[in-house]
Amino acid sequence: MQIDAHTSLYGVFGNPVSHSLSPVMQQSAFDAHGLNAVYLAFCIEDIALGVSAVRTLGIKGVSVTIPHKVSVMPFLDEIDDLARRIGAVNTIVNRDGRLVGYNTDCHGAVEALSEKTEIKGRTVAIIGAGGAARAVGFGVREAGGKVTIYNRTPEKGKRLADDLGVSFQPFSQIAKSADRIVINTTSLGMHPNIDASPLSDSHFDKGMAAMDIVYNPLKTRFLETAEKSGAVIVDGLSMFVHQGAVQFKLWTGKTPPFEQMKASVVKILNKTSTSL
Ligand code: ATR
């Protein structure tokens, strides 16, 4: 693509952001459609200034990541209903100067999970109670899953469970649960701590499903253990690409080239091994 005076600018705001694979994935989508656009990573300390920059520079769209998903909300002109109900924004769309916040994590999680397993009527254990757990929990509950939040810090877990209208159990009780779908939303098992897992080997059996939001490594210890026990597994890459595909559609109105987006991320993960 030739950069010129008409090139549109998109990006991801986070801190840290140097590990982000969104630039690779979104640029592959722009390129696949032959769009005159670039997507860059911006390490943003002050999100108010970041949003101001979107207005000043006319940035067309932004992915918002840790730690700004909640704090960005007051600085936008409008929050989509779903993002408001979840309480977090991971996408900004610049509509002729009007900045609108969306949440695509929720949709990404449900798409990724439902590709591999039925959600409706199943008992679902969500490990963790941070921003990711909030979006995943909301989506799974809406899809008809019977959710229990398991969290190390009881107050935080209970607050999320109350907000979602679902049950809460202390993290220590997870080993005794018989939930059929288990979702890790903590960073346990992420590079470089690849031996860590929120659940021991004895937890899983056939008929269960395990989903991880961690995608580096692609197959975490948690997923490896689950797979060995015969459980269905859903890796973090799937949710990442699905949430990114919805972002691309919101920004451009075009059909996301899902397979190209996925392949671009897999290529980087394979090339850099676990050093991200
Ligand atoms: P995010 O917004 O990405 O979800 P977060 O808000 O920092 O990140 O939330 C991370 C979640 O992972 C928290 O629920 C955290 O548990 P606490 O509420 O007790 O802090 C959980 N978590 C992180 N590291 C953990 C660990 N080593 N063991 C158990 N839970 C952990």
Distance 187 CA to ligand 1 centre (A): 7
131 lines ligand 1 (CB under 6 A): yes
**What confidence score (pLDDT) does residue 175 get?**
74
Characterize the bridge pairing of strands 98-102 and 91-95. antiparallel
Cα separation of 260 and 110, whole Å?
A: 21
**What residue has token string 């989903």?**
211
**What confidence score (pLDDT) does residue 271 get?**
80
Mutate to test the pocket of ligand 1, among 186, 193, 220 (most ligand atoms within 8 A of CB): 186
**What confidence score (pLDDT) does residue 1 get?**
78
Cα separation of 138 and 39, whole Å?
A: 29
Please say whether the beta carbons of 245 and 258 come within 8 A: yes
Q: Residue 45 CB: number of other CB atoms within 10 A?
A: 8
**What confidence score (pLDDT) does residue 202 get?**
79
- Residues contacting residue 154 through CB under 8 Å, at least 6 positions apart: 168, 170
Longest dimension (CA), the chain: 60
159 lines ligand 1 (CB under 6 A): no
Cα separation of 187 and 202, whole Å?
A: 21
Residue 112: enclosing H or E segment and its boundaries?
helix 105-116
Query: Cα 143–68–256 angle (5° rounding)?
Result: 55
137 lines ligand 1 (CB under 6 A): no
Distance 98 CA to ligand 1 centre (A): 33
Q: Would you name the residues annotated as active-site residues?
A: 69
Cα separation of 212 and 185, whole Å?
A: 7
pLDDT in tens, the chain (276 residues): 799 999 999 999 999 999 899 999 999 999 999 999 999 999 999 999 999 999 999 999 999 998 999 999 999 999 999 999 999 999 999 999 999 999 999 999 999 999 999 999 999 999 999 989 999 999 999 999 999 999 999 999 999 999 999 999 999 888 767 779 999 999 999 988 999 999 887 788 888 999 999 998 999 999 999 999 999 999 999 999 999 999 999 999 999 999 999 999 999 988 865 555
Q: Residue 121 CB: number of other CB atoms within 10 A?
A: 9
Beta bridge partners of 148: 125, 167
Please give the number of the atom of ligand 1 that sits closest to the Cα of 157.
18
Cα separation of 187 and 73, whole Å?
A: 24
Q: How much is the pTM? A: 0.91
188 lines ligand 1 (CB under 6 A): yes
- Residues contacting residue 74 through CB under 8 Å, at least 6 positions apart: none
Give the Å distances, CA to CA, from 39 to 7, 142, 208: 10, 32, 38
